[in-house]
């Protein structure tokens, strides 16, 4: 699973790294401890209905997908991850898997390895070359009835997202049995293209994404609290530096 991650790059860095054409004006502050329900940045592609051309955008979303039919945003806290094995079948995710795929930029993510004595060791996993990772994700639109006012109001829109996970390879499985699906640069265009909108096409995209090559780093226990943030969280423990 992916329950916390790091995104330290600014908007300009992400625009360059993910070849973005347009972006929202808002800037999300870097974070070394992104937690569920936080506002995150996602990369999406939209088709111009007149020209048929694709535009790649950097947008904002709440982490934790809220299905369009949900009665409350609270369900999103339980939908931070979607399993690749069932993403095309589960009602919460299947429509977005066909039409609204995204990439969630990250520098790395945390997992907690279970030890024989019952304790857990936090581990930071990142790419071998330090470049941005692109988590395969989905996004959805939901209208919030709590923001409605006046007669027959529709309510405001909330954009939310989830990160797709798969069974971890042997190298990562020793740390945790699940890992985010990480889209390599040469497959990002195919993954984001909303014209790939059939079940066989999307399944083929998932099957084509290779297992990630990640480097584990033992880090301190301060990452366990969402109140803590800063680059010191990913510093290796002194005995492992």
Query: Where residue 177 falls among pLDDT bands split at 50, 70, 90?
Result: confident
What pLDDT sits at residue 97?
97
Give the CA distances from residue 33 to residues 37, 51, 69, 129, 200, in Å, rounded to whole numbers and listed in that order: 12, 40, 30, 21, 36
d(CA 18, CA 132): 9
Strand, helix or coil at 234?
helix
The residues annotated as belonging to the active site are 2, 111
pLDDT at 233 over 90: yes
Question: Are 105 and 17 in contact, with CB atoms under 8 Å apart?
Answer: yes
What pLDDT sits at residue 236?
93
pLDDT at 162 over 80: yes
Is residue 89 exposed (0-12), middle (13-18) or buried (19+ Cβ within 10 Å)?
A: exposed
Residue 5: phi and psi, rounded to 5, are -145, 175
DSSP state of 208: H
The domain 5-235: what is its CATH number? 3.90.1680.10
User: In the chain, what are the domain boundaries?
Assistant: 5-235
Question: Are 44 and 139 in contact, with CB atoms under 8 Å apart?
Answer: yes
The tens digit of pLDDT for each residue in 190-211 reads: 999 999 999 999 999 999 999 9
Of the ranges 27-36, 145-154, 187-196, the best mean pLDDT one = 187-196
What pTM was computed for the model? Answer: 0.92
d(CA 202, CA 192): 10
The residue that leads in pLDDT, 240 or 40, is 40
Residue 82, token pair as written in the block: 């979607």
pLDDT at 88 over 90: yes
What pLDDT sits at residue 117?
86
The tens digit of pLDDT for each residue in 105-145 reads: 999 999 998 888 888 889 999 999 889 999 999 999 998 88
What pLDDT sits at residue 172?
59
What pLDDT sits at residue 51?
87
Residue 227, token pair as written in the block: 């109140």
Question: Are 137 and 165 in contact, with CB atoms under 8 Å apart?
Answer: no
What pLDDT sits at residue 1?
67
């Amino acid at each position: 699973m992916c329950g916390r991650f790091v995104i330290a790059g600014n908007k300009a860095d992400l625009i360059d790294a993910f070849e973005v054409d347009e972006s929202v004006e808002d800037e999300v502050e870097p974070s070394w401890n992104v937690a569920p329900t936080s506002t995150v940045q996602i990369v999406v592609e939209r088709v111009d209905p007149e020209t048929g051309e694709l535009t790649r955008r950097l947008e904002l979303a709440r982490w934790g997908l809220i299905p369009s039919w949900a009665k409350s945003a609270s369900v999103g806290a339980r939908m931070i991850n979607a399993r690749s094995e069932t993403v095309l079948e589960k009602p919460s995710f299947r429509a977005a898997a066909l039409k609204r795929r995204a990439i969630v930029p990250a520098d790395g993510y945390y997992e907690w390895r279970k030890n024989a004595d019952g304790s857990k060791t936090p581990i930071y996993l990142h790419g071998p070359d330090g470049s941005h990772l692109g988590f395969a994700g989905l996004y959805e639109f939901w209208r919030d009835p709590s923001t409605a006012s006046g007669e027959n109001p529709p309510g405001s829109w909330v954009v939310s997202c989830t990160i797709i996970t798969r069974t971890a390879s042997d190298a990562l499985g020793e740390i945790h049995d699940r890992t985010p699906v990480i889209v390599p640069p040469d497959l990002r265009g195919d993954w984001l293209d909303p014209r790939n909108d059939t079940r066989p096409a999307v399944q083929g995209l998932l099957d084509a994404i290779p297992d990630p090559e990640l480097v584990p780093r033992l880090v301190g226990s301060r990452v366990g609290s969402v109140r803590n943030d800063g680059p010191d969280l990913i510093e290796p423990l002194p005995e492992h530096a």
